[in-house]
Amino acid sequence: MCGLFFVVRRDGPVDPQRFERAFATMAHRGPDATLCRYGETTIDTPDGPRALWWAAGHHRLSILDLDPRSNQPFERDGALLVYNGEAYDYERLKGEAPFHGVRFDTSGDTEVVFEGLKRQGPDFVARINGMWALAFADWRGGAVHLSRDRYGKKPLFWRMDEDAFCAASTIGVIDRYLGRPVRHDPAALAAFVVHGVAYPGGEQTTAHADIRQTPPSGSLTLDLAAWRMSERRHFSFDAPSGFDPAMSLTDALADALRLRLVSDRPVGLLLSGGVDSSLLLSIAHATGRADQFRCFIGDTGRSEDAQYGFEAAKALGVKPEVLDLGYGDVSFARFLKICRHQEKPFPLIGNAMAMAEMYEKVAERGIPVVLDGTGGDEVFGGYWDRYFPFAVREAWRRRDLGWLFGVARAEPGRLKEMAAAIAGRSTDRVRPFLKTVARFDADALPSPNPLSSNKLGFDAALRADASRGRLGEWLWQNDRNAMMSSIENRSPLLDVRLTAYLGDGYRRKFSGAFNKVRLRESFDAFRRLPTQWRVQKQGFRWDRRRFLLQNREQVIDLLAASDVIDAIVDRRRFVDAIRADEASLRSTTTARLLSVAGVAEAMNAA
């Protein structure tokens, strides 16, 4: 919903022009208000008082309490907050013990978060049901606190050296302020080209040299006197907290949606033909909230998803708005724009390429807030390719023959897959074309995928994927695609009260021909829809090969000029191959190297 930038220096005042030039590169994250503040503070150190200089900037996308009184940086009583996100339960928090006697001057969530941090420090964030990335300066306490929500929905990066500390919503702002070129970690780039993933992960490391992230579920504290950073976790997926065990799943789902419909601006729902978003529509209709948002269906013309979305809407008397999306028809300029916003290599798939266009078209219709079904697959077991093998192995270890035979009877086509899972065979393979041009032994490069180990139990695999795997990748892509068009993305299925369902076992996730069984059953408490027992969702179909062929000359020119890929492959040999052979041009290896080259080119040109 917003963009933040915070700098503390030990060697002199922050240069406002330099700060604001860098900060302007993420103005798209908050087009409604921009405010920068500068100051000086003195802290006590073992060597005596020491002066520090600071700057704080905030681009605001106004969603709650549109009055300028809620603009940030939010500063009072020796403390300052820059904050990106939403504390959905802020009204409930106001009534809790830390706030007794507090007189609030605003009607949004920012002041609640500020006052909570002022009274309880970084421990307060564990009470929030929401998404956030924040920097809170406690000048009197001599500390700066960074914090990020449980799943890492909102980004927060940082870097420090002997003279300066920087924290920001984007990597590019930090590099631009420091006046240095963008530098990616060569090992991370090589892993992406081999394995096709560059997951943000659950630790502080990133794909960028010298740039770190505040990890999901993490709170970092910079001790200003010692000039030292420490880390603590405010949430653990292995022992989830923040939910009421007496609350039923259907009640939690309904309340998660209710909270995310609280907005002082128009709201939209991105309706696909799958279980997750159509369940949100079902809940909204059953609870009398369907009139609180507009419904949008994206159609590439190559998938049954849109038709299922129409059928679900028709069953409830809802008239969705259709957004026609190009099927591979993305200009090269748009591709480079996406690269600049993504800031790390990404697969050329619909979620990265087509969704950027969908958010843009939603924004053109005056909608700055959208709901989606992100999280349903990860929390409730939606991925056959990722989670089903773990279910099979665990069922085999338990000799749960009834479950195994039930799946085999309903889905005989999965017998080979089940046998491979039981045998522990990996389906990963290095692309033959890559082996001919790589500058390293591609077979020896370990996968960054946390599910690459088949020794994980089923529940452990889901927790790993949610905390440091594929979910983080989707959230990264969604945040940047949405923010590119100044849209806040809200995901009811990532409500903290639903995290406990990550650990309810394979039998509640897969049964016979169906995945996400528990979520599908929830329709019965609201309104049954044609999507409830749909067997397979296709997702956005986006034609990577068509894009590569349509933009052949620009693709080749960019790759031929890219120094960054030269550390991964023999660039001359690779470019000669894609010039001479269409199959090589259309290959997965070319698509991945193009993503690497595109991100490096776009970020350094910004």
Judge whether 270 is annotated as a binding position. Answer: yes
State the DSSP H helix or E strand holding residue 58, giving kind and residue range, or none if neither. strand 48-60
Question: For residue 444, what are the contacts with CB-CB under 8 A and spacing of at least 6?
Answer: none
Query: What torsion, rounded to 10 degrees, do the Cα atoms 581, 586, 589, 591 define?
Result: 140
- 339 catalytic? Reply is no
Q: Mind spelling out the 3-state secondary structure of 156-169?
A: CEEEECCCEEEEEC
Residue pair 275/520 in contact (Cβ under 8 Å)? The answer is yes
DSSP string, 292-317: GSEEEEEE-SS-SHHHHHHHHHHHTT
Judge whether 109 is annotated as a binding position. Answer: yes
Length of the chain: 606
With tokens 């560059």, the residue in question is 198
Cα–Cα dist 469/447, whole Å: 11
Q: Mind spelling out the 3-state secondary structure of 373-401?
A: CCCHHHHHCCCHHHHHHHHHHHHHHCCCH
ω into residue 73 within 30 of 0, thus cis?
yes
**248 phi and psi angles, rounded to 5 deg:** -70, 160
Residue pair 71/33 in contact (Cβ under 8 Å)? The answer is yes
Residue pair 136/80 in contact (Cβ under 8 Å)? The answer is yes
Choose among 143, 94, 150, 96: nearest CA to 122. Answer: 143
* Three-state DSSP class for residue 145: strand
Q: CA 122, 128, 134: angle at the middle one, nearest 5? A: 50
Cα–Cα dist 499/151, whole Å: 10
Question: For residue 171, what are the contacts with CB-CB under 8 A and spacing of at least 6?
Answer: 157, 182, 206, 208, 211, 343, 603
Count of CA atoms in the C-beta half-sphere (13 A) of 209: 10
User: Choosing from 2, 166, 295, 339, which is the catalytic residue?
Assistant: 2
Measured over the CA atoms of residue 565, residue 568, residue 569 and residue 572, the dihedral's sign is positive
Question: Annotated binding residues for L-glutamine, as ranges?
Answer: 109
Question: Annotated binding residues, as ranges?
Answer: 109, 270
Residues acting as catalytic residues: 2
Question: Annotated binding residues for ATP, as ranges?
Answer: 270
